[in-house]
Amino acid sequence: MRAITLLTDYGLADTYVGQLKGAILRIAHEASIVDITHQVPAQDVKAGAFLLWSAVEVFPAGTVHVAVVDPGVGSGRRAIALRAKRGDLFVGPDSGLLVPAAERLGGIEAAVELTRELYWGLFRSTTFHGRDVFGPVAAHLALGAPLEDIGTPIADVDRSASLPGHRTTAVGITGEIVHADAFGNLVTSIPAQALPERFAVRVCGRRIGGGPKPTFASVAPGELLAVIGSSGLLEVSAREASAQQLLGAKRGDPLEVERE
Amino acid sequence: MRAITLLTDYGLADTYVGQLKGAILRIAHEASIVDITHQVPAQDVKAGAFLLWSAVEVFPAGTVHVAVVDPGVGSGRRAIALRAKRGDLFVGPDSGLLVPAAERLGGIEAAVELTRELYWGLFRSTTFHGRDVFGPVAAHLALGAPLEDIGTPIADVDRSASLPGHRTTAVGITGEIVHADAFGNLVTSIPAQALPERFAVRVCGRRIGGGPKPTFASVAPGELLAVIGSSGLLEVSAREASAQQLLGAKRGDPLEVERE
Amino acid sequence: MRAITLLTDYGLADTYVGQLKGAILRIAHEASIVDITHQVPAQDVKAGAFLLWSAVEVFPAGTVHVAVVDPGVGSGRRAIALRAKRGDLFVGPDSGLLVPAAERLGGIEAAVELTRELYWGLFRSTTFHGRDVFGPVAAHLALGAPLEDIGTPIADVDRSASLPGHRTTAVGITGEIVHADAFGNLVTSIPAQALPERFAVRVCGRRIGGGPKPTFASVAPGELLAVIGSSGLLEVSAREASAQQLLGAKRGDPLEVERE
C-alpha cells in the first residue's frame, strides 16, 4: 500500500489531525500515515506550498500527499487531486498549495476535480474537508484506486502559490528569504546551481562573505555564514545561534549574492 | 488488529507519550497507534472529555481509545475500561473523562475496573499509569483480549465530566462555549438539531445575525458568523480571523440563540 | 521488523521530522516509527541524553533508536551506531548523546563508525545527517542488517554527556535537578535505591519533609512533595501545581536529602 503524508495548519492542540487520521483508517485500516507538519502558519497557503515542496522528494515514489491549508473551505474553490510524473499523488484544495511540490517531482501528469462522493467519508461539513473529503480520497488512492476514478479531469489548476524565484543582474543574483526555520536558519529562493563558486551575500544591511561554507563549524559560535541547505537552496545561518534573530530577518526580505 | 488512539495532557516536550507507545508496542508489536491530541490543558478533565467526544466517531467501530488526564493518579480513583454499544473500547481513569465519548457511540455497554495485573506493564509507578496500566491494557484489548478478562465488572462509573447542555427558553435557546480551537473558532453546547432554520446568536455583548451561514466565505474577511461546525454543534467563527480574540470569549461563557 | 524510535531537537513546525521519516520509509516501507520527542532544547546534548535515557527501557528489546541533537553536524564529529547488551541499537552523532541510554540497557556491546555509504540515503547535505545518514542506517538495521556491516568498529566513544550523579555526605545525599517536565515536576539525579526509608529534601531554600509520599494525593493541592518518579529517580513535585514555578528551580540546581 502507498504511504500517506499529511501537511496542514490544524496544529496539534485540537483533535482535527486525529479525526483526519481516523477518516483514513476507517477506509484503509493498514495505512501508514506520516505527519510532515501540522504547524503551517494558519491559512498561509504560500508557506504551506514551500513546506510541502521541501519535504516530498525524500519519500518513496508513489506516496500519497494530503495537504490542507484552506482559507477557502466551503466556498467555490475546487477540491483536486494531482499525479506527478514521479508517480506521487497529491490531494487538497485547488489553491496552488500542491503545485510546487508536484513540479518538484517532475511536473503534473494528470489532474482531477474531486467530484465522486462515493470516495468521500461518512460525514459532511462545510468547514472540515480534510476529514470529509481529502482524507477519505487519499485512503482510496493509497489502496490503489486510479486517479481517474475519483474525479473529473481538469485541464487547469491554480498556480498562484509558486515559489519565489531568483534573477541574475549586473552585480550578481537577487532573491528573497522564503522560510525561517525553528533554528533561525534563513532559507532563500536561490538554488545551489545558480551560485558562483565563491560568493558573498548581502541581506538586512549585512555582508556575509566567504560562501559557501562547507559546515557550521567553519565559523566561530555566534557568527553568520552562507551554506547550501538541505533542500538544495542557499541558506543564511549562524553557528549555534539564530540568523533570523541576529539579522532581524523575515520572509520576503530581499537578498543579493555577489561573486567574490 | 484494532487501532489504538491516544489522548492525554502529557504534551510533546517530554518523553511520556513515547514511553506510553513503547509500553503498547512491547505487547502489540504491530499496533497501529494514532494520536488524537496530547495537548489537553494540564489536568483539565472536562476539556479532555470534550476533545475525546469530538474525535471518536470518525474512527472505525471497535477502535481502542486510551485517554489519560489524571489529576487523581495514584489516589483511590479507579482505573477502568468501557465498551460502547458501537464496539469501541475506552481505557483510562474513572474520572468521567471517557463517558461522553462512550455515550456518543451508543452508550456504555459494559464497564470493568482494571484489577488484573497480568494485563499491566513491566513497570510500576504511582505517577504514570498511562505507561504502566492503561497502555498495556489497551494493547491486550487491541490484540483481542475480551473486556471481561481484564478486570472486574462495575455497575457505576463517574459521570461528572458530562458535556454542558442547552435549554429552550421563552426567547430562544441558551447554551455555553465549550471549546475555543486553535483558529479561534468557538464551539458551543448547542447541537444543530436544536437550532431554528434562521437565527441570530448573542454572545459577549454582540449579536451575530444571519445564521447559519453555509460557509466562511459568506461574510467579509474579519467578520463574525454562526456556522454548523464539523462536530455537529453551533460554532461562532470569523472569516480569516479569530472569533475568540474578536469577542474576548472563553470557555464557559453563556450564549443565546434567537429565531430570526 | 524492529521498531524505530526518533528523538531530535528538530521541533514540529518544520518538515525535518517528516523528511527523516520519508528517508526511513524509502528503505523500510513497513517500518513502525515512534516519536519519543522532537522538542529537545535546540542543540542541548545533555538534555537530549537524559530524555533518551528516560524513555528507552520500556520499548521492546531490539528496538532501533535514532537520536539527533547535533551541534557538530558537518564537522569532524563521527557518526556512530551502538548495540546495547539488551539488543537495542542506537544511531546518531558521537557526542555522548546515545551513551547513557545504552548504559541503561546493559552497556555498550559493540560500536561502529558509520563509514559505509551504501547504507546512506539518496541525498547528501552537510547540515541534515538525520535524513541523509542516521535515518537510512536505522532503516537498514530495522530490516536486519548486522551492525558490523554498516560501519567500522571503534573502541572508544564520546562519554561527555553522562548523567549527573549523587554523593553520600555526612549529612545525607547530595544531587541535582536534571530535568523539569512540562507539569513542573523536578526530576533529580538521585535514584530510589540510594534513598533512606524516610527523608526530607532541601532545595532552593525550602525543606520538604515526609518523603517519599506514595502519591500526589498525599498532600493538599498546591503543596510540595517528594516522590519516586516514573524513571526510578527522586522527584520534587506539587499537587495540581508546578514545583518548578513554586521553587523557581532550574536544571543543575543542587539538592540535599537527609534522613528523617
Same domain for A215 and A110, yes or no, is no
DSSP letter string, A221-256: TT-EEEEE-TTSEEEEEETTB-HHHHHT--TT-EEE
Q: Are C215 and B126 an interchain contact pair (Cβ–Cβ within 8 Å)?
A: yes
3-state SS class at B188: strand
Question: B153 forms bridges with which residues in the sheet?
Answer: B112
pLDDT value at C73 more than 80: no
pLDDT, residue B171, reads: 85
Question: Distance from A172 to chain B by nearest Cα, in Å?
Answer: 39
DSSP 8-state code for residue B148: G
CA atoms of B39 and B239, how far apart (whole Å): 25
Report how far Cα C11 is from the mean position of its chain's Cα atoms.
Answer: 16
CA atoms of A62 and A68, how far apart (whole Å): 19
pLDDT, residue B112, reads: 98
CA atoms of B211 and B228, how far apart (whole Å): 9
Residue B31 lies in a domain: yes
Question: C227 forms bridges with which residues in the sheet?
Answer: C235
Chain C: residue whose CA lies nearest to B126? C215
Q: Are A17 and B38 an interchain contact pair (Cβ–Cβ within 8 Å)?
A: no
Q: What is the torsion angle, in degrees rounded to the nearest 10, for the CA atoms of residue A24, residue A29, residue A32 and residue A35?
A: 30
CB A217 within 8 A of CB A194: no
Chain A residues 151-190 with CB within 8 Å of chain C:
181-183
Same domain for B145 and B195, yes or no, is no
HSE value, Cβ hemisphere, 13 Å, CA-based, for A50: 23
pLDDT value at A171 more than 90: no
pLDDT, residue B241, reads: 93
Same domain for A127 and A185, yes or no, is no
pLDDT, residue A255, reads: 97
Q: Are B58 and A122 an interchain contact pair (Cβ–Cβ within 8 Å)?
A: yes
HSE value, Cβ hemisphere, 13 Å, CA-based, for B231: 27
The count of other CB atoms within 10 Å of the CB of residue C42 is 17
Mapped to the 3 state alphabet, what secondary structure does B73-92 carry? CCCCCCEEEEEECCCCEEEE
CA atoms of A79 and A82, how far apart (whole Å): 10
Same domain for A123 and A65, yes or no, is yes
Residue B49 lies in a domain: yes
Residue among A32, A34, A240 whose CB faces C18 most closely:
A34
Grid coordinates representing B140 are 491486550
Helix (H) / strand (E) containing C247: helix C243-247
From chain B, the residues in CB contact with C2 under 8 A are none
Residue A134 lies in a domain: yes
Residue A229 lies in a domain: yes
Query: How far apart, in Å, are the Cα atoms of A165 and each of A48, A228, C56?
Result: 17, 16, 45
**% of chain A surpassing 90 pLDDT:** 92
Same domain for C228 and C121, yes or no, is no
Same domain for C176 and C83, yes or no, is no
**What does the mean pLDDT of chain C come to?**
96
**What does the mean pLDDT of chain A come to?**
96
For the four alpha carbons of A140, A142, A144 and A145, in that order, the dihedral sign comes to: positive
Same domain for B23 and B83, yes or no, is yes
Name subunits touching B (3+ CB pairs < 8 A). Answer: A, C
Chain C residues 222-251 with CB within 8 Å of chain A:
none
pLDDT in tens, B10-53: 999 999 999 999 999 999 999 999 999 999 999 999 999 999 99
Report how far Cα C241 is from the mean position of its chain's Cα atoms.
Answer: 25
Chain B: residue whose CA lies nearest to C235? B127
The mean pLDDT value for A144-160 works out to 97
Residue among A14, A17, A22 whose CB faces B59 most closely:
A22
From chain C, the residues in CB contact with A35 under 8 A are 12, 17-18
Name subunits touching A (3+ CB pairs < 8 A). Answer: B, C
Q: What angle do CA C36, C86, C5 make, to 5 degrees?
A: 20
From chain B, the residues in CB contact with C234 under 8 A are none
Query: How far apart, in Å, are the Cα atoms of B141 and each of B66, B90, B107, B144, C207?
Result: 11, 10, 19, 5, 45
- Which of A153, A181, A211 finishes a domain? A153
Residue A192 lies in a domain: yes
**What does the mean pLDDT of chain B come to?**
96
Residue among B14, B23, B121 whose CB faces C37 most closely:
B14
Residue among A13, A25, A132 whose CB faces B59 most closely:
A25
CB C59 within 8 A of CB C157: no
Residue B159 lies in a domain: no
Same domain for C73 and C121, yes or no, is yes
Grid coordinates representing C48 are 537530549
**% of chain B surpassing 70 pLDDT:** 100
From chain C, the residues in CB contact with B131 under 8 A are 58, 230
CA atoms of B171 and A147, how far apart (whole Å): 52
pLDDT, residue C146, reads: 98
pLDDT value at B110 more than 80: yes
Complex-level ipTM: 0.96
pLDDT, residue C121, reads: 95
Q: Are C14 and A58 an interchain contact pair (Cβ–Cβ within 8 Å)?
A: no
pLDDT value at C103 more than 90: yes
pLDDT value at A216 more than 90: no
Q: Are C59 and B26 an interchain contact pair (Cβ–Cβ within 8 Å)?
A: yes
Range of the structural domain that residue A233 is part of: 167-259
DSSP letter string, A63-82: -EEEEE--TTTTSSPPEEEE
CB A53 within 8 A of CB A100: yes
Same domain for C10 and C102, yes or no, is yes
Least confident stretch, A41-55, A198-212, C72-86 = C72-86
Question: Distance from C172 to chain B by nearest Cα, in Å?
Answer: 25
Residue B162 lies in a domain: no
B214 in reach of chain C (CB within 8 A): no
CB B58 within 8 A of CB A26: yes
pLDDT, residue C216, reads: 87
pLDDT, residue B115, reads: 97
pLDDT in tens, C176-226: 999 999 999 999 999 999 999 999 999 999 999 998 998 888 999 999 999
Same domain for C135 and C39, yes or no, is yes
CATH number at residue B141: 3.40.50.10790
pLDDT, residue B216, reads: 87
pLDDT, residue A105, reads: 98
pLDDT in tens, A61-116: 999 999 999 888 777 889 999 999 999 999 999 999 999 999 999 999 999 999 99
Residue among C26, C29, C73 whose CB faces A58 most closely:
C26
pLDDT, residue A47, reads: 97
Same domain for C90 and C212, yes or no, is no
Which one, of A104, A27, A17, lies nearest residue A63 by Cα? A104
C30 in reach of chain A (CB within 8 A): yes
The mean pLDDT value for B205-225 works out to 93
Same domain for A129 and A188, yes or no, is no
CATH number at residue A183: 2.40.30.90
**% of chain B surpassing 90 pLDDT:** 92
CA atoms of A55 and B63, how far apart (whole Å): 31
CB-based contacts of A140, cutoff 8 Å, min separation 6: A27, A28, A119, A150
Query: How far apart, in Å, are the Cα atoms of C138 and each of A209, A241, A252, B55?
Result: 37, 29, 37, 34
pLDDT, residue C171, reads: 85
pLDDT in tens, A3-16: 999 999 999 999 99
- Per the structure, the count of domains in chain A is 2
Q: Are A215 and C75 an interchain contact pair (Cβ–Cβ within 8 Å)?
A: yes
Grid coordinates representing A122 are 461518512
Q: Are B123 and C183 an interchain contact pair (Cβ–Cβ within 8 Å)?
A: no
Burial of B240 (C-beta count, 10 Å sphere; 0-12/13-18/19+): middle
Residue among B30, B74, B125 whose CB faces C217 most closely:
B74
Grid coordinates representing C225 are 512533595
For the four alpha carbons of C108, C124, C7 and C252, in that order, the dihedral sign comes to: positive
Beta-strand pair B108-113/A33-37: unpaired
pLDDT, residue B211, reads: 86
- Which of C96, C127, C153 finishes a domain? C153
Chain B: residue whose CA lies nearest to C32? B30
Q: Are A22 and B37 an interchain contact pair (Cβ–Cβ within 8 Å)?
A: no
Chain B: residue whose CA lies nearest to C9? B13
Grid coordinates representing A72 are 477557502
Chain C: residue whose CA lies nearest to B127? C230
Residue A161 lies in a domain: no
Q: What is the pTM of this model?
A: 0.96
Grid coordinates representing B256 are 443565546
B86 in reach of chain A (CB within 8 A): no
pLDDT, residue B102, reads: 98
- Which of C120, C153, C186 finishes a domain? C153
